[in-house]
Structure 1
Amino acid sequence: MSNLVQGHPSGGYILEELYVGMAAEKMIPVTEERIQLFADASDDYNPVHLDEAFASKTAYRGRIAHGLLSASFGSAVVGTVLPGAGSIYISQSLAFHYPVRIGDTVRIQISVISVDAESARVELNCEGFVGDKLIMDGIATVRVPRRRKPSAR
């Protein structure tokens, strides 16, 4: 059973506040602009993502979003909601199950599956959905701060 949480008022949860079952989610629309910006940022100009004429002749029968664009939406949750500010990715496994297309909205759900107090790391179950269809999943290991940075005031 998971407990859906909002972002911490400080911007991030510290290690001692995390527990198995905490979860967060975010809805992110896939737009033409996001695909183009990701192509520019990653230098991945594969025509299956950018050229409808080319993509319509592939097994996907049309353009699809970069898989790593969809996967990066998990980073949006990890870096801003759960655990949030100060957390650092150590590793991420990923499996892609279905393509994502322009106009889809991806719902990313992240849930804590283990907390290691000694290493200040958490394991997170990461899932992406379009509607009720699981489009990708994997496990992330993330380092989490043990304490908050003191206020600059």
Structure 2
Amino acid sequence: MTQLVHAHPSGGYILEELHVGMAAEKIVDVTEDRIRLFAEASDDFNPVHLDEAYAARTAYRGRIAHGLLSAAFGSAVVGTILPGAGSIYVSQTLAFHFPVRIGDQVLIRITVISVDPESARVELNCEGFAGEKMVMDGIAVVRVPRRRKPQSR
């Protein structure tokens, strides 16, 4: 059973608070600015992302967002909602199914599929949707803090 959660008041869930079925979602607008800033941050200036005239002549018939930009939206959920602050990516598999375009809203859904108390790692199912279409999916392994530090007064 899936339980939709929001960001923990402390900023992140600890290992002992996580269980299979916890899920978090975030909707992100794909904009011209996001694509440009991602190109600059990643140094990926492929014209299929940035040049409409070029992209119009490709199989995509127009510009598409970087696949890893959509994956970065998943990273935002992992780093800020579930598990949240203190979690560290160990690995991520990804499959891209449909292109994402300027103007799309991408719904990212992250769901806990396993918790390993011994290694303090969780497996997360990562999905991205534009409208009804699943545009990407994969599995992340994330290391999670075991307990919070006491707050200093």
Q: Distance in 2 between matches of 1:120 and 1:138?
A: 20
- Superposed, 1:111-150 pairs within 5 Å as 111-150=111-150
Shift of 1:142: 0.1
Give the corresponding residue for 1:83.
83
Give the corresponding residue for 1:20.
20
Give the corresponding residue for 2:11.
11
**Normalising to structure 1: TM-score of the pair?**
0.99
Q: Distance in 2 between matches of 1:149 and 1:131?
A: 41
The AA in structure 1 aligned to 2:31 is T
Give the corresponding residue for 1:38.
38
**Normalising to structure 2: TM-score of the pair?**
0.99
Runs of 4+ more than 4 Å apart = none
Q: Give the paired residue count.
A: 153
SS state of the match for residue 119, structure 2?
coil
Gaps of 5+ in 1: none
Alignment root-mean-square deviation, CA: 0.6
Gaps of 5+ in 2: none
Q: Distance in 2 between matches of 1:108 and 1:101?
A: 15
Give the corresponding residue for 1:63.
63
Q: Distance in 1 between matches of 2:25 and 2:152?
A: 30
Q: Distance in 1 between matches of 2:50 and 2:129?
A: 22
